Structure 1
Amino acid sequence: MRTYKLILTMITAAVVLVTASCKKDTDFLEETQKDNLNSSNSLLNPAQFQLMSASFYTYVQRFYNSADGPKDGWLLGLGTDVCFDPRDVTSKYNNWSIVNGTDNYSGDWFNWQYIIIKIANTIIAGAANPAVTWQNDAQKNATIAEARFFRGFAYRNLANVFGDVPILEAPVTAPRNDFTRNARADVYKFAQADLTFAAANLPLTTTQPGRVVRAAADHILAEVDISLKDYDGAIAATTRIINGTDGAYSLVNARFGTRASEADKNYYYDLFVMGNQNYQTGNRESIWTAQFAVTATGGAIPGGVTFSTRPLIERMMWCSWYGQTKFGYNGTAVDSTGRGVAYVRPTNYTNYTIWRNSGTDIRNSETCIKRTYYYGPNIPASVGRPGQVANKALLTTRDDTCIYIYPNWSKFGTDKHVNATPDAGYVRNFYIIRLPETYFLRAEAYLGKNDAASAAADLNVVRSRAKATPVAASDVNIDYILDERARELFGEEFRILTLARLGLVYDRTRRFGSPESAASVQQYNNLLPIPQSSIDLNNGAPIGQNPGYR
């Protein structure tokens, strides 16, 4: 697929349209550029709109699977309070001082959102064409609602980390170089209107795994409402999800799925077992998932990986224990060790601080976070014996504890890999929205109204499921909510977006980040840089850079 590298090229280019002449299930994922196609002559029936909407999901997949290395960890909080790049202390986000307008991590994020906006605007404009034959108004409105969901989602993604950005309300059909940035609050208001429409017109359920539904719209709407200090709106939106108005959702509190019979696991572990993520297969906690799992037909409508042959989450997040020769391993990965390469390591805050006095919290159990490691088959007899708990006194170098051994969160890998389907990998779908986060958003909205008791009640719904000690209302503040988000959602939530939305990138990184990140982060890093390429090409009007960046 063609990805436009520069925003101005991207938003002025001829719109890529997909026709209904696909010959196999995955043909709709291939884009063909034709300069004479536009929404008035190529989007003429609902099937064509459906095919074009698949592009939304392909770009969402890029959020999680765009490169090999630490890049995909950026969205999860690379260089902030929760994780860092352990292999190069001088790399960007370990060293915030080198983050600038040429940064491709945040730059790709910027560009991807405008591609999504471009697709959404094309669909919305095309749906207004009187030549389109709709079955009924509900079908038309649902099509527009999906596009408006993604447009609102994209503007939320932009406003959270970049602040002021240009709002494009309609397709750009002629070259322009005079875009101007809209105020962050106006971007949120634009997203709010889109998400409100989506929440009223998306279906409650779908048979297509990964496709957005009403609850997903209300969830993102609630976050946008909080950004606008519309706490009552956020409470109303999250309550529609929690009380069943938006569909039947509930926290998992019993064993389920393909490995439910294994007595040494628990139901939190089950949430991340391959094949267990989709609502359609019984996971009522799942609100929206990015689809990666390989199926008999090659994937559902949003299916298919975008980089390599599988998502590289285990490779990125797990330590490389099988490469630690002094503990009896030879560099050959097996199921018992996993296949981690340690491109992204959780901080000590994530691995240890948030679990102080955690008691019976199952999220911190050995099942869910592996903290005990054992000697391998090649361990010298003078050191120990195979299968014996490894002596931590042998961990004497930085690499020992930053690359070869650190707590492995089970949600990022498996002890039973898929044999050669594909590449003996850990291939599961990724949660974009899971119900616990909805409770956390409502708790945040209650806190905004100075109702700590109601905020604590929502937090305790999730903590009770985890068998954790309830939190007292007097202990609830935004730091506590962020700590609970890390305990429940580390590696799932868009942590950089959460911290930037709250203006806490600097504060939280200074207090809890890796030593290098904490020393280099500055106040201005609460917003990220606008891509310099977009600034340079927009020579018909000053678009400007966020303060602090050169």
Structure 2
Amino acid sequence: MKKIILILGIIVTAFSSCSDYIEEDSRSAVPADETYKTASGFQLLVNTNYAWLKGIYGGAPWIFESGTDMYAEGRTPEPAGLSQYSQLVPSSSEIGPLYKSCYELIQSVNKTVYYSTVTEQNANVSVLVGEAKFLRASAYFLLVQNYGGVPIVNEHVTSPILSFTRNSAEEVYNQIIADLDEALANVGTDAYATSGKVNKRAVNDLLAKVYLTRGYETFGTAADFTKAASYADAAIAGQGLNIAFDQLFKPGNDLNAETIFSVQYDKNSTSTDPQNLGNNQFYYFSSYLGGSETKGGSPLRSYNLLPTGYALGLYEKGDKRWEATFMTEIYANYYDFFRVADKTNLKIKDFYEPKWFTPADRLAWETANESRKSTDFEYHPWGEYAAEYTLIKNFDYTTIPVKKFDDPDPTTPTSTGNVSTRDIILARLGETYLVAAEAYLKAGNPTTGLARLNEVRKRAGVANATAAQFNIDYILDERGRELLGEYKRWADLKRTGTLVARASAHNYKIEEANFVGVDGALKILRPIPQSALDLNQNKDFPQNPGY
């Protein structure tokens, strides 16, 4: 199963609020109930669970990355509630989609669990249910991190439910772990790169993240960190970080040996409706580059979620992740970077000077590349291409582009929209090493934790961190270098209790006062969407602090 394809002819699902669940629209001659009772039909039902991930991750990544220390808006505004907090309220339109999409996935899994008891029985049924419960746990994990306690709804719903009770965050974590324990016992062990399915490694990886995050909660214990370290090591399974960093995100290499889990796309399967079936990941993290109207066809960019000066300054000389993450040299034809093997004679349009350049380094670079400069060449000195620099200058190409998500083989011309069919990698081995590092540190074993972190630095080509440096702030810096743009940052800061301090220190749009909400409570959790509260007939459903 290389790619998961949503079979529209079998099922169409709709979820408009916490009280509207799955409605079936059978467009074949065979009723859905009858179809799902066959082995092939049940497999299709499981496939729809994977497909719901596209609704969670395929659009704008505001809720995952906006309003952090790593990214700030430039010429194009971001949703103000998520990017600046002071305007974040329960009716903010940008906080509802994640809530809705997660419950869509949960209800799809609930249907799968129901039909698993009545479908044609074989040895594969328990495996498929394990995969589905991993996905349900993933959805609940996103919900509890963002909103705190939420309703646990694990029944197959066939008629509207109009009243919900809010479970505690501790109860939600217990539900997540129960699902993952069952998944771990049942899913297969085939390599993800060949099967594309949830396997035991993916479950171990998610269990590590769940226990690590729960350990920081008021109801968490030291044992959570110990378990997180153990599950992280089980996911690592002795595998070294042997793939060069610039190959991890090389187009066409998304399913490499270090990818643990991802949202998978296929160009052929999205061709019928690329605007809705593709994803938007490559569209962010850069200034506007001119789009299709520019000679040479630069990719269309949003000009928001721009790397901050703090994010750019995390890299030191020799760190291989710098040039693997950012397009430091832009050619007259942007995509020539990917399409032309010998770049010796390509004309350079823009160059972004790294932090460590001295005046002598600049002179040496300009001298060596004089003949390669295009007629409109621009040299961008250090300090003049971060997000905050757009207050001074906000022309096209002002800020440095993130290239790791670029798609040089887009489904549609750039003029038709921000569409990519590259996979969105949600879990990979480099991050698992950093999860282990943090878990061991919090569990009171910094020596082992430092060793895990230094494996990541070794691959990057930089010196080992020292015991004196090794703390949560250093881990967050390393995660920033390793995982830039990978849908992790808000959760990282929220988990470690550093959101207010780091966002206000490094994001030019944010001050500490932005987080202060109703009754002086801080806006750490996102608000329960007002639409969900309005449609819930149980009015004894508390809102989060600060709203």
TM-score, normalised with respect to structure 1: 0.78
Q: 1:179 to 1:402 in 2, by over 3 A?
A: farther
Task: Note the 1:69-80 alignment, pairs <5 A.
Answer: 72-80=60-68
- 1:263 corresponds in structure 2 to none
1:313 partnered with 2:291: no
Given that 1:309 and 1:423 are in contact with CA atoms closer than 8 Å, whether structure 2 keeps it comes out as no
1:188-240 CA distance string (max 9 Å, x none):
11101111111221111257654322211111111111233312221221111
Which of 130, 146, 149 is the aligned partner of 1:161? 146
Q: 1:315 to 1:252 in 2, by over 3 A?
A: same
- Other structure's SS at 1:92 match: helix
- 1:264 corresponds in structure 2 to none
Quote the Cα distance in structure 2 between the aligned partners of 1:521 and 1:118.
Answer: 33
Given that 1:291 and 1:430 are in contact with CA atoms closer than 8 Å, whether structure 2 keeps it comes out as yes
- Other structure's SS at 1:442 match: helix
Between the two proteins, the alignment pairs up a number of residues equal to 478
- 1:114 corresponds in structure 2 to 103
- Other structure's SS at 1:189 match: helix
- 1:133 corresponds in structure 2 to 120
Q: 1:542 to 1:49 in 2, by over 3 A?
A: same
Amino acid aligned to 2:92: D
Given that 2:245 and 2:459 are in contact with CA atoms closer than 8 Å, whether structure 1 keeps it comes out as no
1:4 partnered with 2:2: no
Quote the Cα distance in structure 2 between the aligned partners of 1:207 and 1:388.
Answer: 41
Quote the Cα distance in structure 2 between the aligned partners of 1:541 and 1:144.
Answer: 34
TM-score, normalised with respect to structure 2: 0.79
Q: Displacement of 1:338 after TM fit? A: 4.0
Quote the Cα distance in structure 1 between the aligned partners of 2:20 and 2:83.
Answer: 31
- 2:321 corresponds in structure 1 to 363
Q: 1:374 to 1:154 in 2, by over 3 A?
A: closer
Task: Note the 1:37-56 alignment, pairs <5 A.
Answer: 41-56=34-49
Quote the Cα distance in structure 2 between the aligned partners of 1:459 and 1:114.
Answer: 35
Identity of aligned residues (%): 26
Amino acid aligned to 1:268: F
1:44-79 CA distance string (max 9 Å, x none):
12221211122222221123323xxxxx12143111
1:148 partnered with 2:142: no
Q: Displacement of 1:333 after TM fit? A: 5.4
Task: Note the 1:220-231 alignment, pairs <5 A.
Answer: 220-229=206-215, 230-231=224-225
Gaps of 5+ in 1: 22-33, 67-71, 254-266, 324-329
- 1:509 corresponds in structure 2 to 503
Q: 1:304 to 1:203 in 2, by over 3 A?
A: farther
Which of 520, 527, 530 is the aligned partner of 1:529? 527
Structure 1 residues 388-397 or 183-192, which shifts more?
388-397
- Other structure's SS at 1:520 match: helix
Quote the Cα distance in structure 2 between the aligned partners of 1:93 and 1:443.
Answer: 29
1:445-471 CA distance string (max 9 Å, x none):
111112111111111111100112211
Which of 161, 165, 171 is the aligned partner of 1:180? 165
Q: 1:404 to 1:545 in 2, by over 3 A?
A: same
Q: 1:514 to 1:333 in 2, by over 3 A?
A: farther
1:332 partnered with 2:343: no
1:55-107 CA distance string (max 9 Å, x none):
222221123323xxxxx121431111121232227833233122111223221
- 2:471 corresponds in structure 1 to 477
1:323-382 CA distance string (max 9 Å, x none):
8xxxxxx951536x5432313212222122x22xx13111123x5423456899999xxx
1:457 partnered with 2:445: no
- 1:489 corresponds in structure 2 to 483
Amino acid aligned to 2:213: S
Task: Note the 1:407-426 alignment, pairs <5 A.
Answer: 407-413=400-406, 417-418=408-409, 421-423=411-413
Given that 1:76 and 1:490 are in contact with CA atoms closer than 8 Å, whether structure 2 keeps it comes out as no
Quote the Cα distance in structure 2 between the aligned partners of 1:546 and 1:112.
Answer: 20
Given that 1:149 and 1:195 are in contact with CA atoms closer than 8 Å, whether structure 2 keeps it comes out as yes
Q: 1:19 to 1:128 in 2, by over 3 A?
A: farther
RMSD: 3.2
Given that 1:317 and 1:344 are in contact with CA atoms closer than 8 Å, whether structure 2 keeps it comes out as yes
Quote the Cα distance in structure 2 between the aligned partners of 1:119 and 1:478.
Answer: 37
Quote the Cα distance in structure 2 between the aligned partners of 1:331 and 1:175.
Answer: 49
Given that 2:69 and 2:308 are in contact with CA atoms closer than 8 Å, whether structure 1 keeps it comes out as yes
Quote the Cα distance in structure 2 between the aligned partners of 1:209 and 1:319.
Answer: 37
- 1:466 corresponds in structure 2 to 460
- Other structure's SS at 1:473 match: coil
Given that 2:13 and 2:23 are in contact with CA atoms closer than 8 Å, whether structure 1 keeps it comes out as no
Gaps of 5+ in 2: 1-11, 216-223, 334-346, 350-372
1:447 partnered with 2:404: no
Q: Displacement of 1:509 after TM fit? A: 1.3
- 2:85 corresponds in structure 1 to 96
- 1:251 corresponds in structure 2 to 241
Task: Note the 1:192-231 alignment, pairs <5 A.
Answer: 192-205=177-190, 210-229=196-215, 230-231=224-225
Task: Note the 1:22-37 alignment, pairs <5 A.
Answer: none
Quote the Cα distance in structure 2 between the aligned partners of 1:207 and 1:368.
Answer: 22
- Other structure's SS at 2:20 match: helix
Quote the Cα distance in structure 1 between the aligned partners of 2:279 and 2:289.
Answer: 20
